[in-house]
């Protein structure tokens, strides 16, 4: 079970938009190097390294030394632990169904908006 301090660290890491974007890139490309990750952002390499330090402290990113570079990997388990803490099997099932309905409704609304703009 995740401790309160660990959860605080995870929530702190996820609170920043740049760190969430970094996690998206790392998830999309496991083994992404720090240099390639830095290219996605208009901040200094030091700022990228500081953000990565926060993500690693929260155990959301694992890194592996590969010669002169570091490869980055997403560790989704801390997020899963938090999810599991506040959901049970029953509520997770219905939350998933509500998400499906939400995305379908949003897609339908976008389609209607595009159609109305075309007319």
Q: With respect to residue 12, please indicate whether it lies within any of the assigned structural domains.
A: yes
Amino acid 118: pLDDT: 77
Tokens of 99: 């998400």
Whether residues 73 and 102 share a domain: the answer is: no
Q: Are 24 and 37 in contact (CB under 8 A)?
A: no
pLDDT tens, residue by residue, 62-82: 999 989 999 999 999 999 888
Whether residues 66 and 101 share a domain: the answer is: no
pLDDT above 70 covers a percentage of the chain that reads: 97
Q: Rounded to 5 degrees, what angle do the CA atoms 90, 76, 89 make?
A: 5
Whether residues 106 and 60 share a domain: the answer is: no
Res. 1 pLDDT band, cuts 50 70 90: low
Whether residues 52 and 103 share a domain: the answer is: no
Res. 35 pLDDT band, cuts 50 70 90: very high
Q: With respect to residue 83, please indicate whether it lies within any of the assigned structural domains.
A: no
Whether residues 16 and 73 share a domain: the answer is: yes
Q: Is the pLDDT of residue 34 over 80?
A: yes
Tokens of 12: 């702190």
Whether residues 12 and 53 share a domain: the answer is: yes
Domain of residue 99 covers 88-118
Distance CA 70, CA 89 (A): 37
- Residues ≥6 apart with Cβ < 8 Å to 23: 55, 60, 61, 74
The total domain count for the chain is 2
């Amino acid at each position: 079970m995740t401790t309160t301090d660990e959860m605080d660290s995870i929530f702190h890491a996820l609170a920043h938009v740049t760190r969430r974007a970094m996690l998206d890139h790392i998830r999309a490309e496991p083994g992404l190097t720090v240099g390639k990750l830095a290219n996605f952002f208009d901040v200094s390499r030091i700022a990228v390294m500081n953000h990565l330090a926060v993500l690693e402290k929260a155990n959301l990113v694992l890194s592996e030394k590969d010669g002169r570079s570091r490869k980055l990997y997403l560790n989704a388990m801390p997020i899963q632990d938090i999810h599991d803490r506040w959901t049970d099997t029953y509520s997770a099932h219905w939350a998933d169904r509500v998400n499906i309905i939400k995305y379908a409704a949003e897609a339908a609304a976008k389609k209607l908006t595009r159609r109305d703009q075309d007319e």
